[in-house]
Amino acid sequence: MKMKIALFLGLLLAANASYADLKIGFVNIPAVLEKAPQAEKAKKRLEQEFSPRDKQLVAQQKEIQSMDERMAKDAAVMGESARVNLEKDILNKKRDAKRAQQEFSEDFNARRNEELGKLQRRIVEAIREIAKDQNFDLLLTDGVIYASDKIDVTSQVQQKLSTMPE
């Protein structure tokens, strides 16, 4: 029994000695995403791509609103067929606007996810390069409850991203 305890203590001491040589770091991914130059460029690309459709949706909403106002104001003096036709037009335009808004949201979310996926792959690439260049044994990201500033390499990842080609 004493032999087993001595062997266990010996293994524990040997393990502690090898852990002392480990180089461990932490990367705050949300902070990297927030400050990555690629994120700002992706945001501008999305705005440029979806701005015309957004303006079109706003114009549709204004048109529907003005038709609603006209209906509220003139319904009492309109003829029956004119009022029914205006109600049908308003209903059709609202349906079209709702469909266009849903398509816009789906398309925007798909493109945003595509851009985010590209950025995440670049971040992982930057983290791996830093880990190899600086001989890290372990780099952690999400799920870390505490990380000392001594092991936080977030700023290095941000620097690496700013030097990586688009």
- Tens-binned pLDDT, residue by residue, of the chain (166 aa): 544 444 444 444 454 445 567 888 888 888 888 888 888 999 999 999 999 999 999 999 999 999 999 888 888 888 889 889 989 999 999 999 999 999 999 999 999 999 999 999 998 889 888 888 888 888 888 777 666 777 788 888 888 888 887 7
Secondary element (H or E) of residue 91: helix 80-133
Output the pLDDT for position 146: 66
Output the pLDDT for position 46: 94
CB 45 within 8 A of CB 159: no
**Which residues neighbour 86 within 8 Å (Cβ) at sequence distance 6 or greater?**
67, 70, 71, 78
Output the pLDDT for position 20: 61
Is residue 133 included in any domain, yes or no? yes
Domain of 46? Answer: 23-163
Six token digits for residue 157: 């990842």
Is residue 147 included in any domain, yes or no? yes
* β-bridge mates for residue 24, sequence order: 138
CB 162 within 8 A of CB 123: no
Residue 32, domain CATH: 3.30.910.20
